[in-house]
Structure 1
């Protein structure tokens, strides 16, 4: 739904306002993104949690001898979106992929801001465009999803561009955008595909527009066929190395899908509760009250495309519970549609109000007021390293592990092992980040490795540890002495492993590793002890 005459800027004053607001949007977008991301350029240890699972395989691009023949690295590459995988693989010939992963979020934030400005301007004018972009830029829920360089970074820019092209009826651009989303972030692709299908049906039947129905159908079918060619080879056929996805019944029985598991996706949360939770924010409630006060019934006059976008997300949210795992995690579809659409509706409402103010200074003062209120509610969320953590506390340990042979296999407690592939570029037997239990064979391998590790860790017999070392070819074991304290606690690790570990740690055992830490360790940092397994085997562990 485009406001007639807005897209074509006729007079010089309006053109000047447009240029000034557009420049301000770009400056705010880049400034916010740089401000939020610059700590990551200062330290390699400032990262998002998911970086440890999604980009560590870049080391292999820089040096093929690193992380070679490694189950976890191969799995991380396997589940990465096809487009992201090949983007970094090709880019590695020209630029360090770790550096590129820090630059892309900044550029994409500017792309999202620019597209939102253009969409708002096309609907209600330049002031509306500015408010739409500003609200998105400063809303803290989005920043976290731009502070990364892997697949999800493509979600918001892609969805924003989709809404802009669809609302502006520039569907020819969807012929390339939708296939790109299928390559880089399939969740966003599905959201767009469903919304686009509903739009095409309505625009060729009930809500027809001045566009040939054949053209609408062609512009819809072309990207869908191309996307199917991209998606089907990866997701329709299981990879024999990792097995098939769990069935619905298997997922429901899997404790890893519930609270205290690796990914809490069950039990099902009714969509109305998700919606209430998203709307139950002071800024949102206040905004709707103000908009309704000034606009009345016109508050709900928003582009049909926005409603279809919301419907698409909610529909896929429900379907994802019926096709568990096969449509990925249900909450993703809600997260990327409903909250974003709510802020779009709020922005368009404020945009209409500002556009009605006759004087330029009145418009400027209203924007200043809106910016002040937004800062009051959300300003503290715009900060350096939003959504990131500083893992520098363990830096001496990671730096030492870098000195170990490149083909070393390290067995370490899972939470500590999360950072080793990324920060030290060394293989680990298993970790928490890559413990998702959704593929049958992969889950069995990770489960066996996890239970074998903790069986040896809490054993009082050196033979058990030696057997574990020989079974997997482990070169180094890292012991966290903290894990030998408070052995009567209820939680040791995630389900389905917790009960096994709790049982193994019970009793008054003289755990071999705990009793021999100082004698066996070749390096110690704080509570962490690095043990060379060759020395352990020589110490008598080879006895059967």
Structure 2
């Protein structure tokens, strides 16, 4: 009797024959369990974010820093970096933070809170989509569990960037597609185009594929006029919503070509993006920016690859054939649409951003849903087999092991860190406080990694920073690269006049130095600086000859010192007469 009861608890489908109250309680139980695990994972991640005032997501520094202009329009005057990231920030994402600023809520604080909301919405839609395809509440739980584990193993939930919104919005799009809700589809599509425009193209292709069906070895076209009207409306929405963003981001266009990118160290191992690879399999398969199967984990997601096989071998009397919604084909449509955009992005070479962005996120969702359905169907078939063959104890043990494996995977030895969060901590509050007290038009020059934190924590302009060295748009990166070359040359020159000319050219107010900046290893082992040749090589050569002029001015021009950093005031450097 144990196996039948277990089967009823775990794999019994929701059907009209079930008692309504019992069905509702079953859904509430599994949905509540889904939310419980989601909340647990999210709280484990965000607790780090609240452990210090000066903690923020790594990539959030790019998007949120310039948004402090919403509080004070005079911040970052003439700032190349702030202007660039304002131009490439999706309109809807910027509008969200503008509303938050209008409510007088600190933007960095909000960036730490909203993963909780995004995670719960993602979980809810994932659960709903799964039980729309296979009306078994446990399957919805497994799908949301696997997806949340996957999101917490990468920076897809805590990044505080537009990509965090992909998951709730895309799952909502799938849900309304299954429900044939034209209004829901169009609203979600509009939001996607405003917040993460790339996925709007995948949505559009899915709607196009849904105009066709495969039956008896032949392709047939939908005879429902509403399907074509929906597709036409979707085209209009994508065009209307994406056009303003395209115009806005064109300020620093054109986008770099693949031919030029291949000549730049920024796109190879050790570079800012590491897009190209000499390993062709890695390049197409798991390259972070170029591979179609990039960053797919945990391995339990691979259960989803079994679904096509199960569809072929299941008995006509199985749970599959009786309860599986025909909309399971939507998962295949997502895969096809994603791959079309993936190869299109490769062919157009950066015009549509990184190819992996079209498969990395959608594949995670598809595999989580497919894996949950596969596991549920296998488990149900196993229960039926055990009732006929009397292997109930063995099946019971296997079921327990499977359940524990799914639930306890995050605490296994195979994962060193879970959840994996992208938070970085600013370690020099005295520096941020000092700079905040300075005029708003100051400029800080530095090759230090700490410079990346100054815009977000001090709201002051930096000349360059590794985090902001995006070699995508040529008009931006040409200026950025020239700044880097000039900075390296000036920092390691023996000529005081060259140093003064640099300060004058870029209106530099302060110079932030690491104490280790004048040893050869600082340059030779710094992969970021090594990208800027021949300046880096010349700087190393100068160090072999002796101390650069800037190093001799540290004691006389320092206005702030910490264990590892020294802040120099350039007014002091300007009056130096040594040649």
TM-score under structure 1 length normalisation: 0.88
Aligned in 2, Cα 1:405/1:74: closer, same or farther, shift over 3 Å?
A: same
2-structure distance, mates of 1:110, 1:371: 22
Aligned in 2, Cα 1:9/1:227: closer, same or farther, shift over 3 Å?
A: farther
- The alpha carbon displacement at 1:256 in A equals 2.4
Aligned to 1:62: 71
Aligned to 2:127: 117
Aligned to 1:223: 234
Aligned to 1:73: 82
Q: Give the total of aligned pairs.
A: 536
- The alpha carbon displacement at 1:203 in A equals 8.0
Comparing 62-71 with 213-222, which one deviates more in the overlay? 62-71
Root-mean-square deviation (CA, aligned residues, Å) is: 3.5
2-structure distance, mates of 1:434, 1:8: 59
Structure 1: give runs of 5+ residues left out of the alignment: none
Are positions 1:504 and 2:542 aligned together? Answer: no
Contact 1:39 1:385 in 2 (8 A): no
Are positions 1:257 and 2:267 aligned together? Answer: yes
Structure 2: give runs of 5+ residues left out of the alignment: 1-11, 315-319, 387-391
Contact 1:30 1:107 in 2 (8 A): no
Contact 1:454 1:501 in 2 (8 A): yes
Contact 2:512 2:566 in 1 (8 A): yes
Comparing 325-334 with 176-185, which one deviates more in the overlay? 325-334
Comparing 130-139 with 452-461, which one deviates more in the overlay? 130-139
Are positions 1:12 and 2:21 aligned together? Answer: yes
2-structure distance, mates of 1:24, 1:236: 45
Q: Partner of 1:523: helix, strand, or coil?
A: strand
Aligned to 1:531: 568
Aligned to 1:513: 550
* Superposition pairs of residues 440-451 of structure 1, within 5 angstroms: 440-451=474-485
Contact 2:63 2:161 in 1 (8 A): yes
Contact 1:451 1:497 in 2 (8 A): yes
2-structure distance, mates of 1:400, 1:217: 61
Q: Partner of 2:511: helix, strand, or coil?
A: strand
Contact 2:524 2:530 in 1 (8 A): no
Aligned in 2, Cα 1:403/1:365: closer, same or farther, shift over 3 Å?
A: farther
Aligned to 2:149: 138
2-structure distance, mates of 1:382, 1:176: 40
Contact 2:153 2:297 in 1 (8 A): no
TM-score under structure 2 length normalisation: 0.83
Are positions 1:453 and 2:487 aligned together? Answer: yes
- The alpha carbon displacement at 1:407 in A equals 2.0
Are positions 1:193 and 2:204 aligned together? Answer: yes
Are positions 1:330 and 2:330 aligned together? Answer: no
1:38 to 47, 50, 53: 47
Contact 2:410 2:418 in 1 (8 A): no
2-structure distance, mates of 1:234, 1:334: 22
2:255 to 229, 245, 252: 245
Q: Partner of 2:545: helix, strand, or coil?
A: coil
Aligned to 1:341: 366
- The alpha carbon displacement at 1:73 in A equals 0.8
Aligned to 1:213: 224
Contact 2:529 2:536 in 1 (8 A): no
Which string of whole-angstrom CA distances, capped at 9 and with x for unpartnered residues, describes residues 443-479 of structure 1?
2211111111111100112211111111111100111
